[in-house]
Amino acid sequence: MNDLLTGLLSTVAFAALGLILLVIGFYVIDLLTPGKLGQLIFVEHRRDPALLLGSSVLAIATIVATSIYTAEADTFQGLAETAAYGFVGIFLLAVSFVILDLLTPGRLGELMTDDKDDPAIWVTVAVQLAVGVIVAASIT
């Protein structure tokens, strides 16, 4: 019974950390784009910001899940590793967005949040997912 309780508490701790990292990722993407993501996605129903946020969430979840899967047996150490890899992943996702913005004409954040469906969103989605997979694959 003690092992079950320990396992349940560990699961709750890792899940809570994962949710916290997803929320942080949301706010980082919100800072990189003009306007408020919540407003753009859930009130104005804009597709491009939803795709950007969705790809970032999937990338962060991939990093967090890989980190949890490879975590050491010690829960505290595993939580610390997951937090560290999660923050590195969020940072690299933000950096990749800025680099893509610098490599392309215009302001990428503005393209992602205007009322047009811009093909640039698909490149941005691919970059976000690629960075997430690369960071996840780098976790040892």
Taking residue 80's Cβ as centre, other Cβ atoms within 10 Å add up to 14
With H, G, I as helix, E, B as strand and everything else as coil, classify residue 54. Answer: helix
pLDDT digits (tens, 9 = 90+) for 45-57: 999 999 999 999 9
H helices, E strands: number in the chain? 6, 0
Phi (first) and psi of residue 50, to 5 degrees: -65, -40
- Confirm if 106 and 34 have CB atoms less than 8 A apart: no
- Confirm if 56 and 106 have CB atoms less than 8 A apart: no
Burial of 139 (0-12, 13-18, 19+ CB in 10 A): buried
Question: How far apart, in Å, are the Cα atoms of 116 and each of 28, 33, 46, 50, 111?
Answer: 23, 15, 9, 13, 8
pLDDT (tens, 9 = 90+) of the chain, 140 residues, equals 788 998 899 999 999 999 999 999 999 999 998 889 999 999 999 999 999 999 999 999 999 999 999 987 788 999 999 999 999 999 999 999 999 999 988 888 787 777 888 888 999 999 999 999 999 999 97
